[in-house]
């Protein structure tokens, strides 16, 4: 985004374009101050990543809602899934898994999970991971992407809504008794359909 396009009351502007460093500018009065330069990069999962990835799972979810190690490995190693990693310097900051399944000539992408370590939240990492999942879905020929989210998970629901995901259903007792899931869906027809 060009600086000239910043509107007067924008609290911040961020640019997330793949492996290019992200720059956030915080507005102070009428002057722009370079607040910080984040060096987050995004890449595909490598086998050595598992311990760091699972440490994030343990930070993000309590038992019994957390995926078990064996199940997590199965998700990652499935031939239909793609796992994206967010990292800053040597530290893994987040990850996300998408599974693309074809049924009757129609491919749909399903978000298995998206997780950012607490210390790195509110910086746009999940939004960029979502970009990557959607791109992987499109590359696999998916025309839609969908997910389950805990009906009480307000931050995740805000993330999906802000990225044009629409609620399309609800499953009671999905995660546990009285713990419902909402189903969110987004069309993946083209890059423009964001
Ligand atoms: C839900 C979750 C993935 C969001 O991760 P995140 O990296 O914090 O998400 P983002 O930074 O992209 O967006 C979160 C908020 O930060 C804001 N934000 C983004 N960049 C920002 C920046 N540079 N400065 C300030 N705020 C920023 C976004 O606008 C958004 O605001 P909102 O919540 O008021 O709408 C994270 O909270 C998490 O891992 N939760 C636990 C696991 C989980 O529940 N996963 C969902 C499974 S369905």
DSSP letters for 87-140: EETTEEEEEEEEEEEEETTEEEEEEEEEEE-GGG-SSSHHHHHHHHHHHHHHHT
Q: Is residue 39 very low, low, confident or very high in pLDDT (cuts 50, 70, 90)?
A: confident
Distance 83 CA to ligand 1 centre (A): 19
109 has a pLDDT exceeding 90: yes
- The residue whose CB lies within 8 Å of the most ligand 1 atoms, and thus the one to mutate among 124, 154, 167, is 124
* Helix, strand and coil percent figures for the chain, each rounded to 5: 25, 45, 30
Using the predicted structure, report yes or no on whether residue 59 has a pLDDT greater than 80.
yes
Whose CA is closest to atom 21 on ligand 1?
Answer: 123
Cα distance between residue 174 and residue 182, in whole Å: 9
pLDDT tens per residue across span 60-85: 999 989 999 999 999 999 999 999 99
Residue with the smallest CA separation from ligand 1 atom 24 is 123
Please name each of the domains of the chain with its CATH number: 2-36 (no CATH), 41-187 (3.40.630.30)
Q: How confident is the model at residue 132 (pLDDT cuts 50, 70, 90)?
A: very high
pLDDT over 60 (residue 148): yes
Q: How many angstroms is it from 116 CA to the middle of ligand 1?
A: 8
Residue 27 has pLDDT above 80, yes or no: no
Mean pLDDT (whole number) for 171-178: 95
Pocket of ligand 1 (CB under 6 A): 12, 14, 24, 60, 113-116, 121-127, 147, 149, 153, 155-156, 158-159, 162
What pTM was estimated for this model as a whole? 0.83
Q: What is the mean pLDDT of the chain?
A: 83
Over range 91-105, report the average pLDDT.
96
What is the pLDDT at residue 30?
Answer: 32
Q: Which of 36, 132, 149, 155 to mutate to test the pocket of ligand 1 (most atoms within 8 A of CB)?
A: 155
- Residue 12: pLDDT band (50, 70, 90) is very low
Q: What is the mean pLDDT of residues 6-18?
A: 29
User: Which atom of ligand 1 has the smallest separation from the CA of 150?
Assistant: 48
Q: How far is CA 120 from CA 91, 95, 108, 117, 160, in A?
A: 11, 12, 30, 6, 18
């Amino acid at each position: 985004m060009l600086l000239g396009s910043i509107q007067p009351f924008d609290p911040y502007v961020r640019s997330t374009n793949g492996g290019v460093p992200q720059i956030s500018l915080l507005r102070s009065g009428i002057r722009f101050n370079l607040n910080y330069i984040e060096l987050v990069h995004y890449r595909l999962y490598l086998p050595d990543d598992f311990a760091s990835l699972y440490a994030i799972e343990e930070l993000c979810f309590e038992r019994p809602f957390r995926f078990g190690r064996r199940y997590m490995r199965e998700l990652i190693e499935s031939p239909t899934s793609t796992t994206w990693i967010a990292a800053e310097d040597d530290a893994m900051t987040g990850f996300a898994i998408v599974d693309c399944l074809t049924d009757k000539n129609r491919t749909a992408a399903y978000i298995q999970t998206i997780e950012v370590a607490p210390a790195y939240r509110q910086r746009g990492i999940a939004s960029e991971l979502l970009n990557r999942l959607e791109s992987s879905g499109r590359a696999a020929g998916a025309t839609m992407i969908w997910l389950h989210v805990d009906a009480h998970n307000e931050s995740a629901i805000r993330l999906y809504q802000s990225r044009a995901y629409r609620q399309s259903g609800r499953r009671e007792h999905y995660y546990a008794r009285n713990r419902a899931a909402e189903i969110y869906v987004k069309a993946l027809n083209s890059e423009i359909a964001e």
